[in-house]
Amino acid sequence: MISLQEEHSLIDRILAGDQGAYARLVDNYKSYAYTIALKVLNTRPEAEEAAQDAFIKAYRYLKNFNRQARFSTWLYRIVVNTAISYRRKNPHQLASIEHHDRAVEEGGGMENKDRQVFLGRAIDNLNDADRLAIQLYYIKEFSLEEVAEMTGQNMNTLKVRVHRARQRLADELKRLLKEEALTL
Amino acid sequence: MNNSAKSSPDDLLLDYLDGKLEGTSLQSLKQQLEQSPALQTRLEELRLIHLHLSSARLESPSNDFVDRVMKNLSASSAAASALSPRNGLLLIIGILVAGGILAFMLSSGTFDNANGVISLEKAKPATKYIQYTLPSLPLKGKVILDSILGIAILLCLVVLDRTVLRPLFQKKTAF
């Protein structure tokens, strides 16, 4: 992780025409940008493309970046908006392959895997704003302020949204498990 | 969060799972949990969600991610430097001024008599073995200049789209 001072120095060098210095910034934030894009898009190739596109946009508009804010939150906002525009172009690619992958990767008993799949399905059933808010909220590397900035909401609205989304998830999981039990 | 929302059992349970309850609020919830099996069940349901979501982690992109960004950046910089919005606007203004002058001259009838004929006979090779006559093509200056004016307007629209409108919309969707 680079310090704030180093970040500002890199930005100065980039603005002075040193394109190579941008590679250091990209390397520092690539995982964050990719994770955000993945949470919006749910598919790895598209998330990678959107994250790359976001870095190119950030470079292009770097001169407009206000130094009062953190570069990270400014970049994350660009990533969210870029990923959302990608999803608008391909709305059909919403199948939650990631949740299933995660369930298989984590292993555990059959009951645990089933529960993971059900939870993945319940998350998919949330509306876009709730799903994104709750997924970013739980990534410990992102602060509440950063998630609020990324999703364009104030912190109280975000907290309420995350609470409501978790309530809905619990209700949805109960319903899915009940339905499943009835079909057995 | 408002007070009514705070007082709902679900919100208290979620605050408890987030580790935000302390002091008397925490003691009060623990007492309620001991006395209410329904509240215990709800806590377990919410805990399942909390545990599942807490497993979220940072994901890593492909190993050549940085290289690909830098490569795309070089390509896009080269394309962007070809015609900046400022240069695009100057080009559009230039085309419009030239087009305006042309349109004014056309409407004032300057080219009304600019008609002629292109005789292909002059281009025929001078040989005594080929005996044929080549046709002549009518030349209407006004039609040609109308076409040039049309192409200029089309060119203006393309330049406007590529250098001004598209970057503007891209910028708007980026933030």
Q: What pLDDT, in 10s, does the model give residues B96-150?
A: 888 888 888 888 877 777 777 777 767 766 666 666 777 777 777 778 888 888 8
pLDDT, residue B70, reads: 94
Name the residue facing A134 among B53, B55, B77 (closest C-beta): B53
**Of the residues B12, B32, B54, which one is the last residue of a structural domain?**
B54
Q: Is A184 helix (H, G, I), strand (E, B) or coil?
A: coil
Quick check: A9 contacting B, CB < 8 Å? no
Answer whether residue B67 is part of any domain.
Answer: no
On the question of pLDDT at B82 being above 80, the answer is no
Quick check: A160 contacting B, CB < 8 Å? yes
Place of tokens 């509440």: A144
Helices (H), A3-154: 4-15, 21-41, 44-60, 71-89, 97-106, 110-124, 128-137, 144-151
Looking at the structure, do residues B103 and B161 belong to the same domain, yes or no?
A: yes
- For the question of an ipTM over 0.90, the answer is no
Looking at the structure, do residues B105 and B35 belong to the same domain, yes or no?
A: no
| CA B61/CA A44 separation, integer angstroms | 8
Answer whether residue B111 is part of any domain.
Answer: yes
DSSP 8-state code for residue B83: S
| CA A66/CA B101 separation, integer angstroms | 45
Q: Please provide the size of chain B in residues.
A: 175
Q: Enumerate domains of chain A plus CATH numbers.
A: 4-89 (1.10.1740.10), 97-183 (1.10.10.10)
b/e per residue A150-183 (b: at least 16 CB within 10 A): bbebeeeebbbbbbbbbbbbbebbbebeeeeeee
Q: Which domain holds residue B28?
A: 3-54
Q: Which chain B residue lies closest to A57 (C-alpha atoms)?
A: B174
Answer whether residue B72 is part of any domain.
Answer: no
- Contact at CB, B69 and A174, closer than 8 angstroms: no
Per-residue pLDDT of B33-79, as tens digits, reads 999 999 999 999 899 889 888 888 889 999 999 999 999 988 876 66
Per-residue DSSP letters for B113-171? Answer: T-EEEEEGGGGS---SS------EEEEEHHHHHHHHHHHHHHHHHHHIIIIIIHHHHHH
Cβ atoms within 10 Å of B60's Cβ, excluding its own: 11
Structural domain count of chain B: 2
Write out the H or E segment, with its range, that includes residue A141.
none
